[in-house]
Structure 1
């Protein structure tokens, strides 16, 4: 009989051990500062960032969708690369760090943002709730 292990780990869902939690394999705490940011915070942060970029786009580019995406990309590259968080991240209390806890930095922020703008890498994630854009950039979103 075929079971989940035959299909592959990326299709099998989160581990089912009783002591499992997102970020455990990365050495992150279960809760509190430094733990993996959960999807709810991420979505709220994205909505805040997108709304701010939409306002800027409306003010300067007549709400052009490509301009809005460009403003969003610039915001993410600059703010995440220098401060470790965008406007929305800061509001909900999360930040982007490299694996090991160091600041993300400009190169990782650029890679992460370009993949984030493609959307699909951001919605495909692993058991530690890291999207493909974070895996490629070797980053993780954690609580402040």
Structure 2
């Protein structure tokens, strides 16, 4: 392997590097969501990373505004803590009932159960929300772009 190939794989990211090595070994990764039985594109396919991050920012902004409104006229020291509480409650209620937070809904995403691809059961929604609140599980992803919080709760974020 020459230096240009090593630098190119580093700049392209770990998936590109792994795919490059897999091609040489004769392995095919397939598209994201293929091993989960999801379509490659369109409704029901894996939610793109950019939309997921955008939905997170929208949901966090809504949570911060609600927390600020609840604490209006009081010290603003605990606004971030309250925003997290509002974010988690909003996530639990909206994902548990309609399958999407306001941000996900605006960007055309939905959280579904892998066990039947329907609405996520309440207990799985609770597990997902608690793990999301810890934050670290949401930062550990598999090759299908599913965070550890989605893996452990048996859920996946898909396009509507």
Instruction: Confirm or deny: 8 A CA contact 1:98 1:139 kept in the other structure.
Output: yes
2:25 equivalent to 1:25: no
Count of residue correspondences = 133
Query: Taking structure 2 as the reference length, what is the TM-score of the superposition?
Result: 0.78
In 1, distance between residues paired with 2:150 and 2:29?
24
**Which residue in 2 is equivalent to 1:44?**
54
**Which residue in 1 is equivalent to 2:108?**
93
Mark the runs of 5 or more structure 2 residues left unpaired by the alignment: 1-13
* CA deviation vs aligned residue, 1:13-60 (integer Å, no higher than 9, x gap): 565455611100000000000000011010000000000000000010
Greater gyration radius: 2
Match for 2:94 among 79, 89, 114?
79
Give the C-alpha shift of residue 117 in structure 1: 1.2
**Higher relative contact order (Cα pairs below 8 Å, separated by 6+ residues):** 1
Mark the runs of 5 or more structure 1 residues left unpaired by the alignment: 1-11
Instruction: Confirm or deny: 8 A CA contact 1:80 1:109 kept in the other structure.
Output: yes
> After TM superposition, what 4+ stretches of structure 1 lie above 3 angstroms from structure 2?
12-19
2:65 equivalent to 1:55: yes
Query: Taking structure 1 as the reference length, what is the TM-score of the superposition?
Result: 0.86
